Amino acid sequence: MIPVRATGLLHTFAEAGVLAAADVHVALRLARLGGEADETVLLAAALAVRGVRTGSVCVELATVADTVAPADDLDGALDGDPADGELDGVGTAVEVTELPWPADWSAVGRSPVVAVGVDAAWRPLRWVDGLLYLDRYWQQEQLVRHELDARAAQPPPAVDLAPLGTLFAEPGSDRQRLAAAVAAGRWVSVITGGPGTGKTHTVARLLKLLVDQPGPPPRIALAAPTGKAAARLQESVRAQAAAIGLPVDLTASTLHRLLGWRPDSRSRFRHDAADRLPFDVVVVDESSMVPLTLMARLLEAVRPSARLVLVGDPDQLTPVEAGAVLSDLVHRPPAAVPPVPGLLDSNVDDLDDDERRQLANGVVRLRDSHRFGAGIGALAEAIRTGDADETVRLLAAGGALGRGEDTDELEAVVRSSGAEMFAAAADGDRVTALGLLGGHRLLCAHRQGPFGVAAWNEQLSRWTRPAGGPASGGWYPGQPLLITANDYDNQLFNGDTGVVVVGEDGLAAAFARGPSTEAIPLSRLSSVTTAHALTVHRSQGSQYEAVTVLLPPPSSPLLTRELLYTAVTRAVHRVRVVGSEESVRAAVGRQVVRASGLRRPVGAGPG
């Protein structure tokens, strides 16, 4: 849909599918309010709006022509309103590089709607070092930068690291020990690593170290961006607690709940710079899912004298909202502040140059997976490092990995796990049925279309639905469920999964509640869908025994390295890719590009 009032460059770029209606509307409104009519400036403004819509906090005007792809729009739409047809508004007739891109953007620097450089007074847009921001995102990025730099400049917290030797005594724990030492010895630290590399193991021992220091025990907050991830963090920390003598009553909450969700605002919270969080240690898991706005709110709410430990895997898919802060923090230029003295003596001699630089910013990457087999670990590493040949070779080698273009194996797996699930659900055995949810999952890049979740959920339902059709209202025993919006009445959260079971009064939805289960009448659920298949975005933070990844054709812009990495690392024992070798190569070769100023030295000059 091309906005009616768009003319000139805006019209051309909207027609080509680069700009959506919303981008054009915001640019036109800014221009009207600021008295701007220059077409180049209008296009730049619309591209900045587009940037935010597709996950970037800013747009680099000099390179935008090479990095923009019309169908990028699909990415932002992944888990949005299902009414967003995936190809809505996307024209493909015109090659993006053939569009009339301005060769000279200097009009932007003279515009009354653009503040140029770091110190210029407020205007709706800001141009710094060639990056054009909507001012709100510039302010948030500056806040994150200032909060991080101010904390790095404070004298480090005093801590006795000696107990780390006992806490990390197992051979091969050197990096974990280093990560705990860095997190204990700095106000802000980042512990990264793929699934099963011991991030939670390290956090639990870090907490034990801090709890045992002289003085009153620290007040600890554990949080994650989603309810599901918070529940998993709490479960894993508690599972470790008894063995190392940590208090077993530690609870984890969502970041929104930690910060104090306010019904009157989506982006403001009860706790902020004026009313900081009352904690001495704040651990945030699955930080790769935290967008810039939420990270800014978190940093201003955490007391400067509290340790903030960000935990996550920066190689996973970036948040749907703007800003991939975890990945930016890992790639930030090293701080002038040296790492805490003595930390490098801890026998970690295999850090490469990049890792040593990152250490100066409090970043430690854990490498060895303690969870899944060597096959999946090697595959994840090949994808992460962009080695397409090795990825293809590993997928062809058999064993725990496989690739093919037919869906015969998928059908066999789904039919047999569906039968097991049906038997448990028909028996009203909630525990077994919920346990089986962790068995096999189909993961798709798209929501709609022939490679999308919607169509494949239908197909998998046909394979698993008991003969004779659905028992009642479309529901059937063993049907896996996904909650798609927070439901405070039922204490269910976006992303929670459950299963339809036979209950005392007919069919009900069973959900895990910590170690126990609860059955909720299906009529009480409003935002719920079938979950045989999930988008890879949705699967973040979950693990399954076996995963089938359905890849779209190589031309799909959703096919990225981050997508494939996230998908295969959801599996513990077995990964099967359904798709062509070309699709695998296209995915490994294409990285998500998210523009951000956090990866550069602080804005020194104007556009």
Ligand X SMILES: Nc1ncnc2c1ncn2[C@@H]1O[C@H](COP(=O)(O)OP(=O)(O)OP(=O)(O)O)[C@@H](O)[C@H]1O
Contact segment (CB under 6 A) with ligand X among 191-199, 205-213, 259-267, 350-358 equals 191-199
Does residue 495 touch ligand X according to CB under 6 A? no
User: What does the alpha-carbon distance between residue 251 and residue 162 come to, in Å, rounded to a whole number?
Assistant: 27
Query: Which residue, among 363, 375, 477, has the nearest Cα to 430 in the 3D structure?
Result: 477
Residue 369 vs 417, nearer CB to ligand X: 369
Residue 197 vs 457, nearer CB to ligand X: 197
Q: How far is CA 344 from CA 165, 396, 572, in A?
A: 14, 40, 33
- Residue 228 annotated as binding site: no
Question: Among all chains, which residue has been given the structure tokens 């910060």?
Answer: 259
User: What does the alpha-carbon distance between residue 310 and residue 255 come to, in Å, rounded to a whole number?
Assistant: 12
- Residue 200 annotated as binding site: yes
Least distance (Å) from ligand X to the CB of residue 308? 18
Least distance (Å) from ligand X to the CB of residue 311? 7
User: What does the alpha-carbon distance between residue 134 and residue 142 come to, in Å, rounded to a whole number?
Assistant: 13
User: Which residues inside 211-240 make contact with ligand X, applying CB under 6 A?
Assistant: 236
Contact segment (CB under 6 A) with ligand X among 149-157, 197-205, 342-350, 431-439 equals 197-205
Does residue 166 touch ligand X according to CB under 6 A? no
Q: Which amino acid is at 230?
A: A
* Binding residue (CB under 6 A) for ligand X from 201, 208, 256, 576: 201
Q: How far is CA 178 from CA 182, 190, 331, 338, 347, in A?
A: 6, 12, 19, 15, 9
As given in the structure block, the two tokens for residue 210 are 């801090």
Question: Among all chains, which residue has been given the structure tokens 């990945």?
Answer: 327
CB atoms within 10 A of CB 56: 28
Query: Which residue, among 500, 481, 497, 498, has the nearest Cα to 426 in the 3D structure?
Result: 500
Question: Among all chains, which residue has been given the structure tokens 């899944």?
Answer: 372
**Number of residues near ligand X (by CB under 6 A):** 14
Least distance (Å) from ligand X to the CB of residue 196? 4
Q: What angle do the packed helices 453-464 and 408-426 form, to 10 degrees?
A: 60
The tally of CA atoms less than 13 A away on the side-chain side of residue 236 is 22
User: Which residues inside 587-606 make contact with ligand X, applying CB under 6 A?
Assistant: none
In SS3 terms, 432-448 reads as HHHHHCCCEEEEECECC
* Binding residue (CB under 6 A) for ligand X from 54, 189, 200, 596: 200
Residue 276 vs 367, nearer CB to ligand X: 367
- Residue 197 annotated as binding site: yes
* Binding residue (CB under 6 A) for ligand X from 170, 212, 427, 458: 170
Residue 198 vs 375, nearer CB to ligand X: 198
Contact segment (CB under 6 A) with ligand X among 32-40, 154-162, 194-202, 437-445 equals 194-202
Does residue 151 touch ligand X according to CB under 6 A? no
Least distance (Å) from ligand X to the CB of residue 365? 11
Residue 203 vs 434, nearer CB to ligand X: 203
* Binding residue (CB under 6 A) for ligand X from 51, 195, 480, 607: 195
- Residue 198 annotated as binding site: yes
Least distance (Å) from ligand X to the CB of residue 195? 4
Contact segment (CB under 6 A) with ligand X among 10-18, 52-60, 169-177, 207-215 equals 169-177
Give yes or no for a contact between 248 and 241, defined as CB atoms under 8 angstroms apart.
yes
First to last CA, the chain: 32
User: What does the alpha-carbon distance between residue 526 and residue 443 come to, in Å, rounded to a whole number?
Assistant: 24
As given in the structure block, the two tokens for residue 29 are 């409104």
DSSP class of 484? -
Give yes or no for a contact between 434 and 497, defined as CB atoms under 8 angstroms apart.
no
Please list, in sequence order, all residues whose beta carbon lies within 8 angstroms of the beta carbon of residue 565, skipping any fewer than 6 positions away: 315, 316, 380, 383, 384
Does residue 367 touch ligand X according to CB under 6 A? no
Does residue 193 touch ligand X according to CB under 6 A? yes
Residue 200 vs 407, nearer CB to ligand X: 200
User: Which residues inside 64-93 make contact with ligand X, applying CB under 6 A?
Assistant: none
* Binding residue (CB under 6 A) for ligand X from 76, 124, 198, 480: 198
User: What does the alpha-carbon distance between residue 54 and residue 575 come to, in Å, rounded to a whole number?
Assistant: 29
Residue 193 vs 418, nearer CB to ligand X: 193
Q: What share of the chain is helix, strand, coil (3-state, %, to 5)?
A: 40, 20, 45
Least distance (Å) from ligand X to the CB of residue 540? 11
User: What does the alpha-carbon distance between residue 546 and residue 412 come to, in Å, rounded to a whole number?
Assistant: 13
Least distance (Å) from ligand X to the CB of residue 171? 9
* Binding residue (CB under 6 A) for ligand X from 199, 205, 228, 238: 199
Residue 459 vs 543, nearer CB to ligand X: 543
Residue 303 vs 370, nearer CB to ligand X: 370
* Binding residue (CB under 6 A) for ligand X from 12, 176, 497, 535: 176
- Residue 607 annotated as binding site: no
* Binding residue (CB under 6 A) for ligand X from 111, 197, 346, 448: 197
* Binding residue (CB under 6 A) for ligand X from 3, 130, 196, 418: 196
Least distance (Å) from ligand X to the CB of residue 366? 7
User: What does the alpha-carbon distance between residue 412 and residue 593 come to, in Å, rounded to a whole number?
Assistant: 37
Does residue 173 touch ligand X according to CB under 6 A? yes
Does residue 371 touch ligand X according to CB under 6 A? yes
* Binding residue (CB under 6 A) for ligand X from 25, 136, 367, 370: 370
User: What does the alpha-carbon distance between residue 393 and residue 409 come to, in Å, rounded to a whole number?
Assistant: 20
Residue 142 vs 197, nearer CB to ligand X: 197
User: What does the alpha-carbon distance between residue 128 and residue 141 come to, in Å, rounded to a whole number?
Assistant: 12
Backbone angles phi, psi at 308, to 5 degrees: -115, 120
Give yes or no for a contact between 129 and 604, defined as CB atoms under 8 angstroms apart.
yes
* Beta pairing partners, 310: 190, 284
Residue 200 vs 464, nearer CB to ligand X: 200
Map residues 325-364 to x or -, x wherever contact with ligand X holds by CB under 6 A.
----------------------------------------
Does residue 377 touch ligand X according to CB under 6 A? no
In SS3 terms, 355-413 reads as HHHHHCCCEEEECCCCCCCHHHHHHHHHHHCCCHHHHHHHHHCCCCEEEECCCHHHHHH
User: Which residues inside 253-282 make contact with ligand X, applying CB under 6 A?
Assistant: none
User: What does the alpha-carbon distance between residue 438 and residue 420 come to, in Å, rounded to a whole number?
Assistant: 13
Residue 182 vs 421, nearer CB to ligand X: 182
Could you tell me which residues are annotated as the binding site for ATP?
A: 193-200
Could you tell me which residues are annotated as the binding site?
A: 193-200
Using CB under 6 A, list all residues that contact ligand X. Answer: 170, 173, 176, 193, 195-201, 236, 370-371
